[in-house]
Amino acid sequence: MRVALTGATGFLGLRLVRQLLEQHDSLTVLAHAGSGCALGRITRFMELTGAPLALITELPRRLRVMETDLCRPGLGLPNAEFRRLADELDVIWHSAGNINLDDDLGSLRRTNVEGTRRVLELAAAGARRPLVHHIGTAFVGGARREGVIYEDELDDRYGFENSYEQSKYEAEVLVRDWSRLHGRPVVVMRPSVLVTDLPPHPELPEHPLQFLSRIVESSARSGGLAERDIPDEYRPVVRLAGHPHGHLNLMPVEHAAAVMVQLASRPPSGRADVYHVVHDHDVATTVLTALVERIAPVKVRLVEKRPDDPARLEAAADLYPGFTPYLSHRRRFDDTRVRNLLGPFSSGIRVDLDYLTTGISTRRTASATGAP
């Protein structure tokens, strides 16, 4: 079976490479042209994460890297090369995307919507009618903050918290419409926020929540609060809009990749099969505020709405407004379909304060390291 993957050097894509190589002898990596040596980056990831030496040694034989451009017709390939690629594939995994919540909608659409369109064109041109696995997001549910989001739901009645959500919604609409138009099955995987406890490393993609570390640490420095050992009574209060009983689903990325590949082994229904790839427990908003307090010498207080008179630290904390609305979310993502197919599939990982701290901060805290 010939399998291709976009986004192979991304945060999720690297884990998918490892999972897919456990299922298939070879893998075609559709790498972004000019982004550097994809084989080298994948190899380095395998080395840093303790992959078996035998697997690392075999990577040059088992991985075929093709430089492509998802923003151009024919993936930027010569016509004959595009046709050859299309005709040899049985499965296409589309994991590439722009995950910057606060990027402008035009930029996000170019990558997330038009990139998806180009992948579907590749699938439509293939003589073997390859099956498309599209990596979406559970957050196509948009700005609905309460209740249950079901796997078959896809509408924009609630609006969106940010342009990223909107672009991913539009991409999934495109995938579903393509499936109906061509009478072809597709598989849509919707992960929640992907996280890891693998410590940050300059040669690895950033953790999606690592922006928290950058913002609070730079804000603390600019406010003259670079020292972490400030007594609690002297720590300034930062007010953030959020719900004290809010919660957010954070999914360990390694577990997400394993679940996705397990789901891919199931025969498709013949239409669009949509799966929420989410963790078996949510993380309380108060854990996220405690995470901020670990990274920076501040106290976080949740308030009903954004302060009208934000202090300098509060204004800096709101530099990533695409994320802050999630502190008010109290909704749940239904994953009944996944559980019915796979049965109990718990990762055994508790995503808690120590887990999150290890994955986003280069600083080691006493609590995180187990020191007294």
Of the listed ranges 185-199, 204-218, 229-243, 321-335, the least confidently predicted one is: 204-218
Q: What is the CATH number of the domain that holds 260?
A: 3.40.50.720
Residue 1: Cβ within 10 Å count: 11
Does 83 share its domain with 144?
A: yes
Does 173 share its domain with 24?
A: yes
Of the listed ranges 9-13, 147-151, 281-285, 295-299, the least confidently predicted one is: 295-299
Determine the residue type at 133.
H
* Contacts of 72 by beta carbon, 8 Å cutoff, 6+ apart: 118
Read off the pTM: 0.92
Task: For residue 242, give the nearest of 168, 150, 318 by alpha carbon.
Answer: 318
Name the 3-class secondary structure at 3. strand
> In whole angstroms, how large is the CA radius of gyration of the chain?
21
Does 42 share its domain with 117?
A: yes
Average pLDDT over residues 302-321: 77
Does 205 share its domain with 317?
A: yes
- Within-domain flag for 335: no
- Within-domain flag for 88: yes
In terms of residue numbers, what domain contains 69? Answer: 3-194+249-277
- Within-domain flag for 65: yes
Does 257 share its domain with 244?
A: no
Task: For residue 298, give the nearest of 239, 365, 368, 211 by alpha carbon.
Answer: 239
For the four alpha carbons of 352, 347, 335 and 2, in that order, the dihedral sign comes to positive
Q: CA separation (Å) from 320 to 208, 240, 342, 351?
A: 12, 12, 36, 23
Determine the residue type at 183.
G
- Within-domain flag for 343: no
Residue finishing a domain among 258, 277, 296:
277
Does 17 share its domain with 40?
A: yes
- The first and second tokens of residue 227, run together, are 């020292």
Does 76 share its domain with 183?
A: yes
Number of domains forming the structure of the chain: 2
Does 214 share its domain with 355?
A: yes
- Within-domain flag for 145: yes
pLDDT tens-digit map of 51-102? 999 999 999 999 999 999 999 999 999 999 999 999 999 999 999 999 988 8
Does 177 share its domain with 302?
A: no
